[in-house]
Chain A
Amino acid sequence: MIRRNICRLLVSNIDTLYCKRHFTNREKLIHSLIENAVDRSKIINSRREWGNVRQTILNHEQNRKHYTMDNIDALILGFCTTRKEYELGFSYLQFLKDENIKPNLATIGKYFKLLYHCNEKYYFIEKKKNPEDEEYILKCYQDLRSDYPILDSLSLENTILGVSMTHEWKKCLDFMEEIKITTIPNNISYSAIISAAFLNNEEELGWQLLEEMFRNGRNPGSVIFLTYLSNIGKMKNTAYGAEKLERLFTFFHENDFKCDKEVADAISSLYKKLDNHSSFTQVSYKGVCNNCHLKLNNYEVGQEEFDDLKKKLFKNVIIGRDLFVKTNPAELRKFQNFINDMDCFDVVLDGLNIAYSAGTKHSPQVLSAMVAAVVSFFVNQKKKVLVLGRIHMNRWPKEHWGYVTNTCSVFLTQNISQDDPYLLYCALHSGKDTIIVTRDLMRGHKFLLKYPKDKILFNRWLSQRQFQLLRINEEGKPIFRIPPSFTSVSQKNDDIWHIPYENETQVDKNDFHKSWLCLKCR
Chain B
Amino acid sequence: MLSLKHNCRFIANKISEAVNGRQPVLSETLGRQISLLNHPLKKLFSSNVEGSPTLANHNNSPGGNTETETNYDAITNGDKTLETKLKIIMLEAEVLRQEGKAVPESSFVTEEQWKEILNLTTRTARKKYFEYLFKLSKRLENVQVKKEQKRLEFEEIKRRKTEENKGEETIEDHALKYDLQHNNIFLRFYDTTINQMYNNRLIQAIQFGQKLVVDCGYDGNMTKRENQSCAKQLMLIFAENRLHDEPFDVHFCNVHRDSELIKQLHKFIPTMNEPWFPLNLHENSYLNIFPKDQLVYLTPHCREELKEFDHDTVYIIGGIVDKVNNDPLSLAKAKREGLRMAKLPLDRYLQWGSGSGKSLTLNQVGSILLDVKRYGNWEKALRHVPRRKLVDFGAAGGVRKPWDRDGGARQWRPAANVDFGNLSFNNGGRKNDNDARRTVNVNIRSLYEE
Residues of A within 8 A of B (CB): 26-27, 30, 66-67, 70-71, 74-75, 78, 86-87, 90, 93-94, 97, 102-111, 115, 118-119, 122-123, 128, 130, 132-133, 136-137, 139-140, 143-144, 146-155, 178, 181-183, 321-325, 328, 357-359, 361-363, 365-366, 369-370, 372-373, 376-377, 380, 392, 397, 403, 407, 415-416, 471-477
Within the complex, the shortest CB–CB distance from A16 to chain B, in Å, comes to 25
Known: A71-B98, A149-B45, A155-B95. A102 touches B26 (CB 8 A): yes
Is B30 a contact of A104 with CB atoms below 8 Å?
A: yes
Instruction: State the CA gap A106–B92 with chains docked (Å).
Output: 10
Residue B426 at the chain A interface, CB threshold 8 Å: yes
Closest to A407 in B: B448
Is B410 a contact of A361 with CB atoms below 8 Å?
A: yes
Known: A102-B26, A128-B4, A147-B26. A403 touches B37 (CB 8 A): no
Is B18 a contact of A103 with CB atoms below 8 Å?
A: yes
Instruction: State the CA gap A144–B30 with chains docked (Å).
Output: 12
Within the complex, the shortest CB–CB distance from A46 to chain B, in Å, comes to 16
| B-side contacts of A128, CB under 8 Å | 4
Residue B239 at the chain A interface, CB threshold 8 Å: no
| A-side contacts of B406, CB under 8 Å | 361
Is A358 a contact of B4 with CB atoms below 8 Å?
A: no
Residue B29 at the chain A interface, CB threshold 8 Å: yes
Instruction: State the CA gap A362–B412 with chains docked (Å).
Output: 8
Within the complex, the shortest CB–CB distance from B36 to chain A, in Å, comes to 12
Is A105 a contact of B98 with CB atoms below 8 Å?
A: yes
Tell me what chain B mostly uses at the interface: helix, strand, loop, or mixed: helix
Is B332 a contact of A182 with CB atoms below 8 Å?
A: no
Interface string of B401-427 (1 = CB under 8 A from A): 000001000101111111110010110
Known: A71-B100, A472-B417. A325 touches B328 (CB 8 A): yes
| A-side contacts of B5, CB under 8 Å | 130
Within the complex, the shortest CB–CB distance from A173 to chain B, in Å, comes to 16
| A-side contacts of B327, CB under 8 Å | 321-322, 325
Number of interface residues, chain B, beta carbon within 8 A: 82
| B-side contacts of A109, CB under 8 Å | 95, 99
| B-side contacts of A322, CB under 8 Å | 327, 329, 332
Is A140 a contact of B19 with CB atoms below 8 Å?
A: yes
Closest to B334 in A: A324
Segment 392-450 of B: residues with Cβ below 8 Å from A: 406, 410, 412-420, 423, 425-426, 440, 443-444, 447-448, 450
Is B97 a contact of A102 with CB atoms below 8 Å?
A: no
Is A136 a contact of B123 with CB atoms below 8 Å?
A: no
Instruction: State the CA gap A359–B88 with chains docked (Å).
Output: 51
| A-side contacts of B415, CB under 8 Å | 357-359, 362, 366, 370, 471-472
Residue B41 at the chain A interface, CB threshold 8 Å: yes
Is A97 a contact of B4 with CB atoms below 8 Å?
A: no
Residue B224 at the chain A interface, CB threshold 8 Å: no
Within the complex, the shortest CB–CB distance from A83 to chain B, in Å, comes to 12
Segment 18-55 of B: residues with Cβ below 8 Å from A: 18-19, 22-23, 25-30, 34, 37-38, 41-42, 44-46
Known: A149-B38, A328-B335, A328-B336. A471 touches B418 (CB 8 A): yes
Instruction: State the CA gap A460–B103 with chains docked (Å).
Output: 42
Is A369 a contact of B444 with CB atoms below 8 Å?
A: yes
| A-side contacts of B412, CB under 8 Å | 361
Is A119 a contact of B91 with CB atoms below 8 Å?
A: no
Instruction: State the CA gap A474–B414 with chains docked (Å).
Output: 13
Closest to A404 in B: B448
Can you list 7 A-B pairs, Cβ within 8 angstroms, ordered by A?
A133-B9, A133-B11, A136-B8, A361-B412, A376-B448, A471-B415, A474-B418
